Chain A
Amino acid sequence: MRAAIVPSRQQQPERLRQSGLAERVFRIRESGILVVLVVFVAVTTGVQHRFLDVSNIQFVLVDTASFALLALGETMVVISRNVDLSVGSVVGLSAYLSASLFASHPGLPIPVVFLAGLGIGLACGIANGIMVAAGRVPSLVVTLATLYIIRGIDILVVGGNEVDANQLPNAFLDIPKDTVGGIPDIAIAVAVIIAAGAYYLRTYRSGRDLYAIGSNPDAARLAGLPVGRRVFTAFAVSGAIAGVAGVLWSAQYGTINSTAGTGYELQVVSAVVVGGVAIFGGSGSVTGAAIGALLLTTISSALYVLGISSFWDQAIWGLLLLVAIALDQTLTERLTSALRKRRTRHE
């Protein structure tokens, strides 16, 4: 996908010169989205004070949870200068198969089903990973293909059937509803996972390798980094996460047929990009992506709460996405020139 997206080298924006500033810019990137988020919440709440009502916050957090989870996996893939378009289909397949486990084996312990979902997702992720890493073919094409294939399998498997709420144990259906001190359990769980992911990408070798690979794949090979293995892992993780997200999906919506998760892929990529992850790899952070997901969900929710016809949702998403990437670009350029002035003063 790289060439399809990456502006030619001489076009790319000058990046910053000192890690201190690098850090700062990443923070600025994230805080940029944070600011948008805060403003948005503030304005909405001003118009409709119940927007900050506990139950609504819970709703938004729950809706964000699986979305942000998917963003985590996608971020790992995108940072390595790839893309995974198959997540939506994986969610769908995992959602149905895992839920139908309950239908076929009542009283199955819930963790087992989560493992099953994870397994299904992992299988899909591994398939993607092998093709991209070993086959060294563009991930955009591969995952576009698996998007079709996995959804096709899903449709074949599900046919006209569906799993209904009454076939699912209450404990399972309550997962999205249980809260600790007002905060939904899954929101906490996801937050923890994302924190772990962020920490891993920042401070573990294999994590940094992903950045290196995305930043310059050829150099990564020359440097003897296990490029194939790392990219493979990224896809496997993304797949596994999508599998888990699928299980959460069925817990949240109770009724599962062959359409679950349709069209998620572009939403997740949007969240990642809005979150300040460079679509051509090498830079960006999981935290940013998660905030991106939160922002997008908040916006939809805000529209519904304000009773603004939800028809504006799409348009606002689109605009926001464009603004986000444009800002990211200009921001880095501004910062560089500021930096340059500073240096000249130093001499």
Chain B
Amino acid sequence: MSKVIRLQPALRWETGLAVVVILIVAIGSVASPDFLTGNNLFSLGLSNGEIAIMTLPMTLIIISGEIDLSVASILGMSSALLGFLWARGWPMPAIFVTLAVVGVLAGAINGLLVTRLRLPSLAVTIGTLALYRGVALILLGPNTVSDFPNAYTNLGVNAVPFTGNDMTYSTLIFIVLAIVFGVVLHATPFGRSIYAMGASAEAAQFSGIRVKRIKTILYMVSGFICALAGVLWTFRLNTAVQNNGLGLELSVVAIVLLAGVSIFGGKGSLIGVVLAVLAFAGIQNALLLTNFNQEATGIVTGALLLASVFLPNAGRLLRRLSHS
């Protein structure tokens, strides 16, 4: 029964999230006239682009009933490799190809360990979290590479032409990818299969859905996207260093859960995730603009995270309290 009762509130969570976003924008623009300036939105998009992009594959993976904590390490590894190869005079195109391959490979390792060896994905990806970060450390060690050609680094910091200087490339990429992922997740057999296996892997398998294959694919996609995020990160900061993106994984997971995606899999929507990204970025920025610095960010994020699990279950909880 409780399942049933939980459903509609779960849907309502997205609307709740929308309200939160609106509130943040309202508060933000009241607290600081600069909040809604193109310049501010631009920098907002700039500093959250990579995280935002990484939430997309994470969403699919969590809905499929698994988790990937190695995302930030793959970002770091890709960034380090980018610097490592550039320092050795590789041509950029060749480097990009290599990074794509490595990213997909890293994801494939996660996927195979989870699906073929049937290891719990939390443990596996904690392992690869250390492993991939370790590779980054081994590649660059103490060195920093920051002599990337402007042609590329500008992509990291300049605005997309014809967008009135308001949109960064990472934002553009996020929007495009969000649409793609949204359609795939909500409107294709592949996406439906992800929900099915998240809700019941066994039932999905008995319906002819290739659970293992799809999960492996999801991890590979995640690996690729994170490698891409690594490139964006490197060019935005014009710096390849081993600790790029250190610790981002928890933020990414937090955003996805904030979106009302069930950690048990099978539930959640991409609209929610986009809203959650906006909320997350908005909060940080609003707090900065109102001189709270980032100190309060953690508290607000955490509080919202709790809300995301408690509010949808409020009905159930109240009933249980009234019973006891």
Contact = CB atoms under 8 A, between A and B. Distances in A.
Q: Do chains A and B touch in the complex (CB under 8 A)?
A: yes
Contacts of B138: 311-312, 315
A314 B134 CA distance: 4
A131 B313 CA distance: 12
Interface stretch (A113-121, A152-160, A218-226): A152-160
B263 A140 contact: yes
A317 B202 contact: no
Contacts of A8: 200-202
A52 B317 CA distance: 56
Contact of A325 (B123, B141, B242, B296): B123
Given A138-B264, A314-B137, A270 B295 contact: no
Contact of B123 (A135, A142, A321): A321
A3 interface: yes
Contacts of A325: 119-120, 123-124, 127
A273 B119 CA distance: 12
Contacts of A9: 202
A4 B264 CA distance: 5
Contacts of B62: 4
A317 B130 contact: yes
Given A2-B264, A4-B122, A135-B313, A318 B131 contact: yes
Interface stretch (A96-104, A143-151, A194-202, A338-346): A143-151
Contacts of B295: 152, 155-156
Contact of B120 (A5, A263, A313): A5
Given A131-B306, A146-B302, A329 B141 contact: no
Contacts, number: 170
B315 interface: no
B4 interface: no
B118 interface: yes
B115 to A, nearest CB: 9
A315 B131 contact: yes
Nearest to B321: A134
Name the residue in B118, B264, B306 with the highest tally of chain A Cβ atoms < 10 Å from its Cβ.
B306
Range of interface residues on B (Cβ < 8 Å):
35 or more
A273 B313 contact: no
Nearest to B297: A152
Query: Chain A, interface size: which category?
Result: 35 or more
B309 interface: yes
B30 interface: no
A241 interface: no
B298 A319 contact: no
Contacts of B137: 311-315
A42 interface: no
B301 interface: yes
Contact of B119 (A146, A266, A312, A329): A329
A85 B254 CA distance: 12
Given A152-B302, A314-B134, A280 B120 contact: yes
A315 B135 contact: yes
A182 to B, nearest CB: 32
A313 B131 CA distance: 9
Contacts of B65: 3-4
Contact of B127 (A3, A138, A322): A322
Interface in B121-143: 121-124, 126-135, 137-138, 141
B94 interface: no
5 contacts: A8-B202, A152-B296, A266-B129, A321-B127, A325-B124
List 4 tightest A-B contacts by C-beta distance, closest first: A315-B134, A318-B131, A314-B134, A152-B298
